[in-house]
Amino acid sequence: MGKKIAIATSNIHKVRELEQVLSKCSISLQQVDIPKVEIQSNDLQLVAINAAITAYNALRKPVIVEDAGLFIEALSGFPGSYSSYVYRTIGINGILKLLEGVDDRRAYFESVIALAYNKGVISVRGRVYGSIATKPRGSGGFGFDPIFIPDGSTRTFAEMSLEEKNSYSHRGRAARELCRVIESVEIG
């Protein structure tokens, strides 16, 4: 028997990526667009857990919140947990400008999924290492996907199909971990 769980986000791309993985462990998602209260912290896990608790208190039913960030080595981990804001303000071109003339383009994406339910909060993490491309490539995905090349590939996330991206991605890894953890939990 499958589990239907709410996901608090207005980002349909995020929902599609998570659904593609979670459906394999009989979890379906119901997107709910409630105001997401996001604390300011460098710790993605803290941000996701707090947002999930707030969403659970508003909905009074199990709910997932996913938060992700791009951490660039040469920029001391910037933009990190502030990736969404940085994307909205300076975008891909702003990040590329910050990296002009920089040889060390190592970076990683990290995702934290927090599930709040009547007995508490479960959080899982996924991380993928890679590098920042010198220019945007591809038309798929969203956010910084056109400039992130995961280790083991020559293509950016934006050049991959949804299924291929999920096989590499931070969000796909976190979703697979959630599937593993949630098997033994009664979430009501």
Structure tokens of 54? 């707030």
Which pLDDT score is estimated for 72?
Answer: 98
pTM: 0.93
Give me the amino acid identity at 5.
I
User: Which tens digits make up the pLDDT trace of 83-133?
Assistant: 999 999 999 999 999 999 999 999 999 999 999 999 999 999 999 999 999
User: Which tens digits make up the pLDDT trace of 139-161?
Assistant: 999 999 999 999 999 999 999 99
Question: CA-CA distances (angstroms) from residue 146 to 4, 52, 95, 99?
Answer: 32, 28, 12, 15
Asked if residue 160 lies in contact with residue 154, where contact means CB atoms within 8 angstroms, the answer is no
Q: Angle 12-22/170-182 helices, nearest 10 degrees?
A: 50
DSSP annotation string for the chain: --EEEEEE-S-HHHHHHHHHHHGGGTEEEEEE---------S-HHHHHHHHHHHHHHHHSS-EEEEEEEEEEGGGTT-EETTHHHHHHHTHHHHHHHHTTT----EEEEEEEEEEEETTEEEEEEEEEEEEE-SS---SSSSTTGGGEEETT-SS-GGGS-HHHHHHH-HHHHHHHHHHHHHTT----
User: CA 74 to CA 71: how far, in whole Å?
Assistant: 9
Asked if residue 145 lies in contact with residue 96, where contact means CB atoms within 8 angstroms, the answer is no
User: CA 145 to CA 18: how far, in whole Å?
Assistant: 16
Nearest partner of 111 among 187, 14, 39, judged by Cα: 14
Q: Which domains does the chain have, with CATH numbers?
A: 3-182 (3.90.950.10)
Instruction: Indicate if the pLDDT at residue 8 is higher than 90.
Output: yes
Which pLDDT score is estimated for 17?
Answer: 95
Looking at the annotation, which residues are catalytic? 67
